[in-house]
Amino acid sequence: QQQVKQSPQSLIVQKGGISIINCAYENTAFDYFPWYQQFPGKGPALLIAIRPDVSEKKEGRFTISFNKSAKQFSLHIMDSQPGDSATYFCAASAASGGSYIPTFGRGTSLIVHP
Amino acid sequence: ETGVTQTPRHLVMGMTNKKSLKCEQHLGHNAMYWYKQSAKKPLELMFVYNFKEQTENNSVPSRFSPECPNSSHLFLHLHTLQPEDSALYLCASSQPGGSSDTQYFGPGTRLTVL
């Protein structure tokens, strides 16, 4: 099965610090890389996404860095806040029958201490 | 109601019971999905329905039976489950055919099989 490997499994940072979550993929057909954020008791929600034609995408405090040759991408959360405490999933997908069905990483549990 | 709703939110059942999970999306999407979320594991895609037709069945045991009567409703019928089926079952919807498919998730049904 196609895999997306995500690390670390858990991450603890202090308020104001930088949180970094890394993902690696194998299938070069993947061409859409979303990150989802999940709070307890809620389903995952799209946070930010990138395509391989750019190396970086920034939305507010959240940045995706993408390295196509290494088949790696990462999420950086600048000035991390306690409200960012959640589980983060990277994903990768390719068009299949008109749909992009994502393959998810295992998730990273982020805790931001005040 | 907005977004994707799921009922019930919590379900406890014995291995001989028969129960159903319900999902409804209010987003006008044409694709609906069932995922299984277990601790420390990636989100597992179970079934995909595109315009009410099942397009994916990821080797899911027959004790899970999906039903999609229309593009807004999705059911997962459960019978003769095993304790290892205990997990969070997430429903999602998306609008296929674009350059990316953002998955919109419901809050999930927490299933416990005794």
β-partners of residue B31 are B50, B94
Cβ separation A34–B102 shorter than 8 A:
yes
The secondary structure of A65-114 as a DSSP string is EEETTTTEEEEEESS--GGG-EEEEEEEB-EETTEEPPEE---EEEEEE-
**Cβ–Cβ under 8 Å, residues A74 and A23:** yes
pLDDT for the residue numbered A3: 87
- Res. B1: pLDDT tops 60: no
Residue B50, pLDDT score = 85
B111: closest CA of chain A, how far (Å): 13
Separation CA A61–CA A22 (nearest Å): 17
Closest CA to A65 of A78, A76, A77: A76
Q: Which amino acid is at B75?
A: F
Q: Name the token pair of B112.
A: 């416990």
* Rounded average pLDDT over A34-60: 94
3-class DSSP state for residue B54?
Answer: strand
Of the candidates A41, A99, A107, which has its C-beta nearest B101's C-beta?
A99
Q: CA separation (Å) from B97 to A32, B22, B51?
A: 14, 25, 12
Tokens of B74: 């999705």
CB within 8 A of A95, min separation 6: which ones?
Answer: A31
Instruction: Please state, in angstroms and rounded to a whole number, the distance separating the CA atoms of residues A46 and A104.
Output: 12
CB B44 within 8 A of CB B92: no
pLDDT band at A66 (very low <50, low <70, confident <90, very high): very high
Say yes or no for a CB contact (<8 Å) between A103 and B101. Answer: no
CA distances from B79 to B15, B19, B62, B90 (A): 8, 7, 9, 18
Please determine, for residue A48, whether its predicted confidence score (pLDDT) is greater than 70.
yes
- Answer left, alpha or beta for residue B72, where phi above 0 means left and psi between -120 and 50 means alpha: alpha
Contacts of A97 in chain B (CB under 8 A): 50, 55
Q: In a 3-state reduction of DSSP, which class is residue B71?
A: coil
Check: CB of residue B11 under 8 Å from CB of residue B19.
yes
Q: What is the predicted pLDDT for the residue at B99?
A: 61
Residue reference for tokens 């999705």: B74
> What are A68-90's pLDDT values in tens digits?
999 999 999 999 999 999 999 99
